[in-house]
Copies of this chain bind each other. A is one copy, B any other.
Amino acid sequence: MSLLDEVKFDDRGLVPAVVQDAENGQVLMLAYMNRETLKETIGGDRPVFWSRSRQSRWVKGETSGNTQRTVEILYDCDADALVIKVEQKGPACHESYRSCFFRRVNRDGTTDIVETKQQG
């Protein structure tokens, strides 16, 4: 059975994809794929996502130059989530942090920024 037939897309036709730095394991971002962009991701060199806000296909770095190269694609026991290990060029976050997960929540509910912004 093909993965495309096995994956359980949600009621929006999407599956979440955790994008992880292949080198050091840092979680860089969480994005979504539909059937078409997952197919394109499996067959290609870079992950292709579906933007929920713009309702369109998108590839990280097409405008910013901060591109990703797919190293490994994993999927989970329920076939309703993906991990994409990538080589990330520059910051993954549009706010110039390496990872979109640059804020920490403390036990008292306050938050801290735990990364520094990158150049380029």
Contact with A26, one of B25, B75, B77, B81 (Cβ below 8 angstroms): B25
How many copies of the shown chain assemble into the complex? 2
Given contacts A101-B74, A109-B4, contact A20 B27 (CB under 8 A): yes
Q: How far is the CB of A102 from chain B (nearest CB, A)?
A: 7
Across the interface, name the chain B residue whose C-beta is closest to A7.
B105
Contact residues on A (Cβ < 8 Å of other chain), bracket: 35 or more
- Contact: B111 with A3, CB < 8 Å? yes
Report yes or no: B100 in contact with A78, Cβ–Cβ below 8 A. Answer: yes
17 A-B residue pairs with CB within 8 Å: A16-B30, A18-B27, A27-B27, A27-B74, A27-B83, A29-B76, A29-B81, A30-B81, A73-B105, A74-B104, A75-B101, A76-B102, A76-B103, A77-B93, A77-B94, A77-B95, A81-B101
User: Which residues 83-100 in A have Cβ within 8 Å of B in the complex?
Assistant: 83, 93-95, 97, 100
Q: Which residue of B lies closest to A73 (CB)?
A: B105
Residues of A within 8 A of B (CB): 2-4, 16, 18, 20, 24-27, 29-30, 42-43, 72-78, 81, 83, 93-95, 97, 100-105, 107, 109, 111, 114
A105 CB, min distance to chain B CBs, angstroms: 4
